[in-house]
Structures are given as structure tokens and as C-alpha cells.
Amino acid sequence: MNSVPLLELSGPPRARGITHGRALAGRLRGFLDDSLARLGHLADRPVDLDSLRPSIAAHRDVVAAALPDLAEEVDGLAAGVGVDRDAAWLLQLRREVLGYSRVTAGDCTTYASVRGRPVLAQTVDLNGNLDDQIAVLAVSGPRHRSLVLSFAGLLGYLGVNDAGIAIGLNLVLGGEWEPGVPPYLAIRHVLDSADSVDQAVEILCELPLASSRSFMICGEERAVCVESLGSQRSILEDADLAHTNHFLDPDFAERDEINVFAKNSSRRRLEAVREAGIPDASDTASHHRLLSTPPILVPDNGDIRRERTVAAVILRPDLGEIRLWPGDPSTAEGQVHSLQQWSASGSHR
């Protein structure tokens, strides 16, 4: 059973970051000391923080201009952990630092449905053995409270807010990856500030994103997928939606850089969801079975470089709830976190 800290983050941005950093200081310092946030285990060439500083600074400049509150929160994280400011920024930028090549396999199987009660569920497939770095953040943001799943000091990854918005994601590969807002921070900004699905989509369309991604947004009545490729966005909407790691928009699909064998895996996972059908929102057992069965479950083969399933979640935007299986969902014990557990001040009832 993985130990998953639950962190309540409230107050001004820097204070939220300091709280986060202090709570996980030992764990995050250990992670940073492990071949520089395990990047050395994943990259084809040695990595060191000094050589990454120009790239980190370029990304930070864009984030500071677009999302100043979150930039302050990252700086607070550094102070709380007691590390170099750039190290805390590196934690937000690991995916961009790794970049992509035609050997990147992609990660995550995500689906959402508003056919009955709304639900968004997904596996989280990551390399780097990150199942020892999971945390749940209970954030009192500037506009909304949210529950955010986090890995290794990330301010955002996926989650649900008190406006009834759930958001998940998939890696897709295409276009130029340039200094910009990491999609994980974009997701956190959506959770902090979006009142509606339309607002969430608008935010994702306007932000200068650093890397290609697909975002799954589920409100109480609408499910929308936003595919991002460079500065372009494609919007898909349906009562049932599923996404893996290849572009679904026909124009974007022509520019998909995923290699053919990873694309075959991606297609098989997508077909598995479509064949099974999306279970009713309240049918936790069926969701869990779907998320913890291959091919949707990607088991550990012992290779730290390989993306594998390190968590699975069911998000309920109508209930403000995250049901989480930390680690391999076929063996992990589930846990439930709900926004209703917290008062508006962010204190636990």
C-alpha cells in the first residue's frame, strides 16, 4: 500500500507552495537527489541542473506572465522544500525537459461520460517509478477549491473542483515543444478558476502551452476533449468520450509523431474502452475492473524508462470526489477524497 499524503493548501500563493514544500520536504529532496528527479535514469544523456537552467528560466518567464499566482506558488514550494528555485521549477517541467522522440510510448487511458451521472476516469501511466511520489492536494484556490492528484511536487496533474469540473489528460506527441506553460500547471489553473466547461476550454485554448497534450473535461452535463498541438486546439464533444495517446482529430492525426508500435498500443487501449462501454458513474466496481485490466492497465516490467500504470482514478464532478488507487490499481487499496470533507476555509471537518 502506497502512503499518500493529503495536503491542505490555502492562503496566498507563496504560502500554499511553502506548505506543500514543507510537508514533503524530505521526500522531494530525496527525489531530486535521485539522479536529478530521476531524469538521469530516463534520459539518453547525463542531465544536470546547471545545464537545464536556461530552459527552466525560459519556461518560468512564460508561466510568470500567464499564471503569476502559480509561478509564486512554485517559488514557495522551493522555499518550503529548502532547495534551489530552479529545482522546484524542474519538478513542474520534468516532462518538457525529457522532451519527446519517436520512441516515447505515451501514457494514460482516459474516458468520460455524461450519459447518466457525470464521471471521468483514467489510468495514470508514467515512467520513473513515480508511484512513491503521489500526493493529494486539497487546494483553496483564488476562486475555487479543488482536489488535485500530484506526483513529485507537481502543483497540478488532474483533479476536480467545487464548480463541478473534473479534468484529466493524455500525452500526445506532435508539433514543436517550446517554452510555455506546462499542461500540468494549465490543469491546476483550470481547477483554480474555471466555473464551467466552456471556461475550462477557453483557458486551455488561450494559454501558451509548452507541449502537446489532450485534456478531458467533464462537467455535470457536458464532456469535452481538447487536443493541443502547438498553438492549435481541436475540440471534441460527446456524451461518451475516450482518449489514449494518439490524436483523434483527423487533421492533427496527420501530424502525430507517436511511433507505430506505441500507436498500436494506444489504439488497443482505446478500443478496449469502447468495447467495454463506460460504466455508470456509481458502478465503482466496473470502473475499477476496466482500469485494472490489461491492455488498459500497463503492468510493471521492471524498466524504469517504460511508462506503466502508477495510479488510477475515478473523478465525480457532481460530488467533488476523487476515488484513487495509488500504484498498480489491480493490487492497490482504493481511497476516497471529497471536497465535502472540507469547509470553505479549507479545514478538515
Contacts of 4 (CB under 8 A, 6+ apart): 134, 135, 136, 324, 326, 335
3 is a site residue for another protein (CB under 8 A): no
> What's the CA gap between 280 and 290, in Å, rounded?
12
CB nearer to another protein: give 95 or 306.
306
Q: Shortest Cβ distance from residue 264 to another protein (Å)? A: 5
Half-sphere exposure of 33 (CA within 13 A, CB side): 9
Q: Which of 38, 34, 24 is nearest to 153 (CA)?
A: 24
Q: Which is nearer to another protein, 51 or 101 (CB)?
A: 101
Query: What is the C-alpha separation between 289 and 330, in angstroms, rounded?
Result: 8
How far apart are the C-alpha atoms of 8 and 348, rounded to whole Å?
Answer: 9
Applying the rule CB under 8 A, the residues between 256 and 275 that interact with another protein are: 259-262, 264-265, 268
- String marking each residue 170-209 x if it binds another protein according to CB under 8 A: ----------------------------------------
Among residues 159, 186, 37, the alpha carbon closest in space to that of 98 is found at 37
Nearer to another protein, 5 or 294 (CB): 294
Taking the least distance from each CB to another protein, the nearer of 45 and 348 is 45
Interacting positions 41-100 with another protein (CB under 8 A):
44
| Nearest approach, Cβ of residue 302 and another protein (Å) | 10
Applying CB under 8 A, does 102 fall inside the site for another protein? yes
239 binds another protein (CB under 8 A): no
330 makes contact with another protein (CB under 8 A): no
Out of 61, 198, 271, 303, which residue is the one contacting another protein (CB under 8 A)?
303
- Min separation Cβ 104 and another protein, Å: 9
CB of 311 to another protein, least distance (A): 20
**Which CB, 237 or 257, lies closer to another protein?**
257
**Least distance CB 259 / another protein (angstroms):** 5
Is the CB of 122 or the CB of 265 nearer to another protein? 265
Q: How many residues form the binding site for another protein (CB under 8 A)?
A: 16
103 binds another protein (CB under 8 A): yes
Q: How far is the CB of 273 from another protein (least distance, A)?
A: 16
- Encode the chain in three state secondary structure: CCCCCEEEECCCHHHHHHHHHHHCHHHHHHHHHCCCCCHHHHCCCCCCHHHHHHHHHHHHHHHHHHCHHHHHHHHHHHHHHCCCHHHHHHHHHHHHHHCCCCCCCCCCCEEEECCCCCEEEEEEEECCCHHHCEEEEEEECCCCEEEEEEECCCCCCEEEECCCCEEEEEECCCCCCCCCECHHHHHHHHHHHCCCHHHHHHHHHHCCECCCEEEEEECCCCEEEEEEECCEEEEEECCEEEECCCCCCHHHHCCCCCCHHHHHHHHHHHHHHHHHCCCCCCCHHHHHHHHCCCCCCCCCCCCCCCCEEEEEEEEECCCCEEEEEECCCCCCCCEEEEHHHECCCCCEC
Q: How far apart are CB 249 and another protein at their closest, in Å?
A: 21
- Nearest residue (CB) to another protein, 46 versus 68: 46
Q: Minimum distance from CB of 267 to another protein (Å)?
A: 8
Indicate the residue among 274 and 305 with the shorter CB distance to another protein: 305
Task: Please identify, using beta-carbon distances, which residue of 235 and 261 lies nearer to another protein.
Answer: 261
Cβ at position 179, least distance to another protein in Å: 25
Considering only 7, 52, 78, 105, the residue that binds another protein (CB under 8 A) is 105
What are the residues binding another protein (CB under 8 A)?
A: 44, 101-103, 105, 259-262, 264-265, 268, 301, 303, 305-306
